[in-house]
Amino acid sequence: MSKIPLRLILIFFALSFLFLLVVSYDSHWLGTWQNRIEIKVDYSKIEETLTDFPVMINISSSSGTNSADLTQVFDELASDDNRTKIAVTTSNGTTQCYVEIESWDTAGEQAWLWVKVPVVYFGSDTILYLYYDSTQPDNTSYVGDTGSTPAQNVWKSDFEGVWHLEGDYNATTGEVKDSTSNANHGTGGGGTASQAPTQTASVIGNGQYFNGTSGIDPPDGDNQYIEIPDDNSFTLTTTGQLMYEVWIDFTTTNLYVKEIGDAHYIHAIGKCQSYEEEWILVIGGANGDNPYSIRNYLMNKAGGLGASADTAWQWQAGDKVHVYGWFDTTTKKCYIEVWYPNGYYAYFENTYDDENINPENSNAPLTLGGECEGDSYGQWWEGTFDEFRVMSTNQNAAWRQANHFAQADELLYFGEGGSFLQRYEYYYDDNDNAGFGGTIWIGQSFTPQVSHTLKEVRWKIRGDDSPAGNLNCYIYAADGNHKPTGPILSSGSIPCSDVLELQSAQVYSIPMTDVVLTAGQEYCMVLSAPYISNGHFDYRMDTSGEYDGGMWLYSSTSGSSWSTNSVRDMYFGEWGISDTDTPVYMCDLNGDGRVNVLDMIRVGQHQGESGQPGWIPEDVNQDGTVNVLDMVIIGQNWTG
């Protein structure tokens, strides 16, 4: 009698165990809840795995990246009183996440929630479920309004204050609610009703409009502000790090302010009073030096000139921007990052030690909208603030990006399906820049490790009086010397006017026509742009590049001849979708639109095999080996 190979026995037991595991894992429904909506995080906007991450959920007639109509939630619950008859779970369908309800309007069919997601994955789907059922008891163990215990549990301990700025303020003490358990509540107008700001529709639900002094003679505003009592957690020297963020809606360009020395600006947000100064967000007025600017300042306690990280970009009336400002006593730097409505951002830093700044703790309160040093200068903000936060840990670039897209309602896909771009070949280091335009074309050769369909490319560039016309990108096959050859395989462009004229380069995405790139074959991506005497582009590169799949390319003849440099690499990335029969997920291996036992069997049939990452669809996580990890991923995406 022949023996059954050990490999088949192991596969059988692994499949049996994992089948039972995933069926119980992902087909579970939360108790007797009747309705749920699948939510998928767009992992193309996630640069690293994030833990205990606060995600915003907008429930409306147009929600998320696919503008989904979620008004059935309001139809089912029928009343604001039933707003806690909801639940949000992780991908297993049963593990609940903490939820804060910022606002809930059944009549207007609009709600804003904040959810603490245990893990947001890099490179793979993060699945959540939103349950709603009017027959359920109130889910107050996990869901609550601002100030409740579950709502406070949304925010990690390094959030020192989270103010959604949602409410009609009338100068009642503590009315500006802090969502964290720190209870750093503020007061509109510092206790004077006429100086409390006015609630208005904003980026995330409602924010606060500050009717400040926008003229010099005579003042024409109400000098409105919010005051939050002093706390050591708002001070840089407490932990050596301090970060804040806020959404700003610029209402008017008629923002004239009185002169202080030779400058005209507003101390719009900060912790500072006369001889009790620490840090401030400064907005430049229409008059004076650096008009329409945004600056992040660190001050000496006694005042005087501070050190700032400045934006070269000038705001305009109607702009809605997301601003991060932070400080670090180890690097001795102040930083600012401003995200614009088109998804691009500007980042700047400055060494405050060079300006002889010695940060100290002060007794000054934290203020929004009002002149930090008193009203003698008549400097008051006119415009809207929304979603203001202070943190005692400086969050990195991956966190800031994901947080921005979450707050802009550009991170979640609602309902089953959804196909997100995946990053394939990339090199994200740079230490130098050079110009291109006209007859000067530049490029990078690259070699995909995994076959896929190209959808877009990303370059790090900046404009310098950007010319008219388009910035163009082309994909070619590479010859044996890493140079472009043959016809254009894919092309794309963006208007030159989209590229911001800033001090630092930014990452720009260029949509490309579809082309299937084959694993192991070298290709070339090329950039070209118009040129005029006073307008061109700069690109970022690494002069000691370590990308193994290609090298830097240069042409001074509009692409008719090329030179290469094997020690240089461009800052680039190419994004696409898996070139396999997977119309729903990468886990739908047989292409039947479901992720189930049939896909699990296909992984089992190739168990233990190895090759180039992603060489067959059964290498689901594209790590080069088909093993139990691929089965687990299928289990996490199980549809039955």
**398 lies in some domain:** no
Same-domain status, 57 and 205: no
pLDDT in tens, 279-309: 999 888 766 666 778 999 999 998 777 888 8
E-strand stretches of 17-132: 35-41, 50-59, 86-89, 99-105, 110-120, 126-132
Same-domain status, 195 and 232: yes
**403 lies in some domain:** no
Please give the C-alpha separations between residue 11 and each of 118, 253, 623, 629, in angstroms, as whole numbers: 31, 68, 19, 13
Contact 151, 135 (CB under 8 A): no
Can you give the residue range of the structural domain that contains 76? 35-152
Provide the pairing of β-strand 206-210 with 412-414.
Answer: unpaired
Contact 253, 345 (CB under 8 A): no
pLDDT in tens, 241-292: 999 999 999 876 656 555 554 456 788 999 988 788 899 998 887 666 667 7
Q: 626 falls in which pLDDT band (50, 70, 90)? A: confident
pLDDT in tens, 543-581: 999 999 999 999 999 999 999 999 999 999 998 887 653
For the chain, the average pLDDT equals 86
pLDDT at position 501 over 70: no
User: Total structural domains in the chain?
Assistant: 4
pLDDT in tens, 406-445: 999 999 999 876 666 788 899 988 999 888 989 999 999 9
pTM above 0.75, yes or no: yes
Same-domain status, 291 and 437: no
Q: Which residue has the tokens 């995909």?
A: 448
Enter the tokens of residue 285: 């007025």
Same-domain status, 378 and 244: yes
Q: Percent of the chain scored above 90 by pLDDT?
A: 59
Same-domain status, 460 and 531: yes
Which residues, other chains included, contact 533 with Cβ-Cβ below 8 Å and sequence gap of 6+? none
Q: What is the pLDDT at residue 639?
A: 65
3-class SS of residue 599: helix
Taking the C-alpha atoms of residue 230 and residue 247, their distance in angstroms, rounded to an integer, is: 22
Domain boundary residue, one of 549, 578, 607? 578
Taking the C-alpha atoms of residue 314 and residue 461, their distance in angstroms, rounded to an integer, is: 19
Same-domain status, 93 and 219: no
Q: What is the pLDDT at residue 375?
A: 44
Q: What is the pLDDT at residue 283?
A: 86
Taking the C-alpha atoms of residue 91 and residue 238, their distance in angstroms, rounded to an integer, is: 38
3-class SS of residue 179: coil
Same-domain status, 216 and 327: yes
**135 lies in some domain:** yes
Same-domain status, 200 and 270: yes
Contact 415, 506 (CB under 8 A): no
Q: What is the pLDDT at residue 533?
A: 64
Q: In terms of Cα–Cα distance, which of 102, 20, 8 is closest to 58?
A: 102
Taking the C-alpha atoms of residue 434 and residue 440, their distance in angstroms, rounded to an integer, is: 11
Taking the C-alpha atoms of residue 211 and residue 225, their distance in angstroms, rounded to an integer, is: 9
Taking the C-alpha atoms of residue 235 and residue 359, their distance in angstroms, rounded to an integer, is: 9
Secondary element (H or E) of residue 268: strand 265-273
Taking the C-alpha atoms of residue 485 and residue 521, their distance in angstroms, rounded to an integer, is: 13
CATH number at residue 228: 2.60.120.200
Q: In terms of Cα–Cα distance, which of 521, 529, 435, 438 is closest to 476?
A: 521
Same-domain status, 121 and 179: no
pLDDT in tens, 18-50: 544 444 444 479 999 999 999 999 988 998 999
Same-domain status, 559 and 594: no
**210 lies in some domain:** yes
Same-domain status, 201 and 348: yes
Same-domain status, 77 and 127: yes
Q: What is the mean pLDDT of residues 370-390?
A: 75
pLDDT at position 12 over 90: no
pLDDT at position 376 over 70: no
**413 lies in some domain:** no
**555 lies in some domain:** yes
